[in-house]
Amino acid sequence: MTRLLATHLRPYARPLTLVVALLLVQSLANLYLPELNADIINNGVAKGDTAYILRTGALMLGTTAVLGIVSIVAVYWAARVAMGFGRDLRGAIFRAVESFSQVEVNRFGTASLITRNTNDVQQVQTVVLMGLTVMVAAPIMMVGGLIMALRQDVPLSGLFAVIVPIMAVIIGLLVRRAMPLFRTMQQRIDRINQVMRETLAGVRVIRAFVRTGREEERFDAANRDLFASALSVNRLFALMMPTLMAIMNLTTVAVLWFGAFRVDSGAMPIGNLTAFLQYIIQVLFAIMMATFMFVIVPRAAVSSDRITEVLATEPSIHDPAEPEHPPRTGRVEFRDVEFRYPGAEQPVLRGISFTAGPGGTTAIVGSTGSGKSTLVNLLPRFYDVTAGSVLVDGVDVRAMDRADLWSRIGLVPQRAFLFGGTVASNLRYGDGDATDDDLWRALEIAQGRAFVEEMPERLEAPIAQGGTNVSGGQRQRLAIARALVKRPPIYVFDDSFSALDVRTDARLRAALQRDLAAATVIIVAQRVGTILRADRIVVLEDGGVAGIGTHDELMATCPTYREIVLSQLSEDEVA
Q: What residue ranges define each of the domains in the chain, with the CATH number in brackets?
A: 2-312 (1.20.1560.10), 332-574 (3.40.50.300)
Give 428-485 pLDDT, tens digit per residue: 887 888 888 888 888 888 888 888 888 888 888 888 877 777 787 888 888 888 888 8
pTM (2 d.p.): 0.69
Q: Note the pLDDT of residue 571.
A: 63
**Model confidence band, residue 574 (pLDDT cutoffs 50, 70, 90):** low
Residues whose CB falls within 8 Å of the CB of residue 471, separated by 6 or more in sequence, listed in order: 499
Q: For residues 453 and 412, give the distance between their C-alpha atoms in angstroms, rounded to a whole number.
A: 23
Q: Note the pLDDT of residue 575.
A: 58
Please provide the distance, in angstroms rounded to a whole number, between the alpha carbons at the two ends of the chain: 70
Q: Note the pLDDT of residue 460.
A: 86
- The three-point CA angle 278-283-289 to 5° equals 120
| Residue 234 neighbours by CB distance under 10 Å | 11
Q: For residues 479 and 484, give the distance between their C-alpha atoms in angstroms, rounded to a whole number.
A: 9
Q: For residues 402 and 324, give the distance between their C-alpha atoms in angstroms, rounded to a whole number.
A: 11
Q: For residues 484 and 516, give the distance between their C-alpha atoms in angstroms, rounded to a whole number.
A: 9
- At position 313, the amino acid (one-letter code) is T
- Helices 160-201 and 212-238 pack at an angle, to 10 degrees, of 170
Q: Note the pLDDT of residue 214.
A: 82
Please determine, for residue 168, whether its predicted confidence score (pLDDT) is greater than 70. Answer: yes
Give 364-392 pLDDT, tens digit per residue: 888 777 778 888 888 888 888 888 888 88
Tell which residue, 360, 376, 509, has the closest CA to residue 445: 509
Please determine, for residue 288, whether its predicted confidence score (pLDDT) is greater than 80. Answer: no
Q: For residues 363 and 530, give the distance between their C-alpha atoms in angstroms, rounded to a whole number.
A: 9
- DSSP code per residue over 202-270: THHHHHHTT-HHHHHHHHHHHHHHHHHHHHHHHHHHHTHHHHHHHHHHHHHHHHHHHHHHHHHTTSS-H
**Model confidence band, residue 573 (pLDDT cutoffs 50, 70, 90):** low
Give 115-160 pLDDT, tens digit per residue: 888 888 888 888 888 877 777 777 788 788 788 878 777 787 777 7
Under a CB-based contact definition with an 8 Å cutoff, are residues 283 and 145 in contact? yes
Under a CB-based contact definition with an 8 Å cutoff, are residues 573 and 527 in contact? no
Give 304-340 pLDDT, tens digit per residue: 888 888 888 888 788 888 888 888 888 888 988 888 8
| Residue 174 neighbours by CB distance under 10 Å | 18
Q: What is the mean pLDDT of residues 235-258?
A: 79
Give 256-287 pLDDT, tens digit per residue: 888 887 777 777 778 877 888 888 888 877 87
Give 61-109 pLDDT, tens digit per residue: 888 898 889 888 988 888 888 888 888 888 888 888 888 877 788 778 7
Q: Note the pLDDT of residue 572.
A: 62
Tell which residue, 422, 417, 415, 456, has the closest CA to residue 436: 422
- Helices 13-39 and 50-99 pack at an angle, to 10 degrees, of 160
Q: Note the pLDDT of residue 436.
A: 85
> With 0-12 CB in 10 A as exposed, 13-18 as middle and 19+ as buried, what is 550?
middle
Strands 536-541, 544-549: pairing is antiparallel
Mean pLDDT of the chain, nearest integer: 82
Under a CB-based contact definition with an 8 Å cutoff, are residues 534 and 544 in contact? no
Cα 524 from chain centre: 33
User: What order of strands is seen across the sheet that includes strand 490-494?
Assistant: 409-412, 490-494, 520-524, 361-366, 536-541, 544-549
In 424-460, which positions are buried (b, 16+ CB within 10 angstroms) versus exposed (e)?
bbbbbbbbeebeeebbbbbbbbbbbbebbeeeeebbe
Return the C-alpha torsion angle 26, 28, 31, 35, nearest 10: -120
Residues whose CB falls within 8 Å of the CB of residue 446, separated by 6 or more in sequence, listed in order: 477, 478, 480, 481, 484, 508, 511
In 127-164, which positions are buried (b, 16+ CB within 10 angstroms) versus exposed (e)?
bbbbbbbbbbbbebbbebbbebbeebbeebbebbeebb
Q: For residues 80 and 129, give the distance between their C-alpha atoms in angstroms, rounded to a whole number.
A: 9
Report H helices in 110-136: 110-115, 121-130
Under a CB-based contact definition with an 8 Å cutoff, are residues 74 and 24 in contact? no
- For residue 536, the 8-state DSSP code is E
- Please list the helix, strand and coil fractions of the chain in percent, rounded to the nearest 5, in that order: 65, 10, 20
Strands 361-366, 520-524: pairing is parallel
